[in-house]
């Protein structure tokens, strides 16, 4: 991929001898750290402790990163089977958030079982952090010049530093990373404002809101992207997004109709 040579931001933030620290990693770690802090603050409201959250994250974060990469590599195996040395190079981009969500959820249910924690409590606690982590993490895609849309003639509605970084392969590109970042940040704000103000919220309904909200945001944004993972003529992330929305709605309806606590 030929980037605009003079204006593109260097994806390496810092070099220390033979070691390089990539902006992508900085955004991922920053988003995760803020998410953990928020979860630790919320945990006592659900009868959990900050140690419960931290212990979960120590297991979930590295496994989720593996899931992010493994999901992407699996659907791009035609390329990676010919370039096996690049399989672990997550820092160069090429990840799928759904792989991380699936891996993190599996760890959460196993962790909850062994700690005798209601998994719905841990899910509700984690959701705001997941949303803010996604909002921040998408800026790693911005630095790596990935997760963008079709070519357009201009992007005058954006600040110059975004316009310049979105000049890829000789044309400006729709900044779908930005749309998803705004969408997830908006979902984060909604939860933070209303989660303790809405009467009668049941366990798991904050998590269900996440399924619906992020499913809708991702379904829309994915339709604009040019780098979607495909299953035949279908965009895999749109399929998964639709299933998330259906699952979230079904969860709320079942809990309300069955009158579960």
Annotated binding site: 138
CB within 8 A of 72, min separation 6: which ones? Answer: 94, 95, 96, 99, 229
Question: What are the distances in angstroms from CA 128 to CA 4, 11, 167, 179, 193?
Answer: 36, 27, 32, 18, 11
* Contact residues for 136 (Cβ-Cβ < 8 A; gap 6+): 27, 30, 31, 34, 181
Report angle CA 38, 40, 46 to the nearest 5 degrees. 105
Contact present, 236 and 229 (Cβ < 8 Å) = yes
């Amino acid at each position: 991929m030929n980037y605009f040579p003079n204006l593109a931001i260097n994806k390496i933030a810092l070099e220390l001898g033979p070691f390089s620290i990539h902006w992508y990693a900085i955004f991922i770690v920053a988003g995760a750290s803020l998410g953990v802090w928020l979860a630790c603050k919320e945990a006592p409201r659900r009868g959990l402790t900050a140690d419960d959250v931290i212990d979960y994250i120590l297991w979930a974060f590295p496994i989720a990163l593996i899931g992010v990469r493994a999901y992407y590599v699996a659907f791009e195996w035609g390329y990676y089977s010919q370039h096996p040395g690049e399989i672990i190079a997550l820092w160069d981009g090429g990840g799928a958030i759904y792989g991380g969500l699936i891996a993190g959820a599996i760890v959460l249910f196993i962790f909850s079982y062994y700690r005798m924690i209601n998994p719905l409590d841990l899910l509700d606690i984690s959701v705001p952090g997941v949303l803010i982590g996604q909002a921040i993490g998408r800026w790693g895609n911005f630095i790596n010049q990935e997760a963008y849309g079709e070519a357009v003639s201009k992007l005058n509605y954006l600040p110059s530093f975004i316009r310049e970084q979105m000049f890829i392969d000789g044309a400006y590109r729709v900044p779908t990373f930005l749309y998803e970042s705004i969408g997830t940040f908006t979902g984060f704000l909604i939860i933070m404002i209303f989660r303790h103000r809405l009467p009668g919220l049941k366990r798991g309904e904050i998590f269900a809101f996440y399924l619906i909200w992020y499913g809708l945001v991702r379904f829309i944004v994915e339709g604009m992207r040019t780098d979607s993972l495909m299953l035949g003529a279908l965009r895999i992330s749109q399929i998964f997004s639709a299933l998330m929305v259906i699952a979230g709605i079904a969860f709320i309806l079942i809990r309300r109709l069955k009158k579960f606590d």
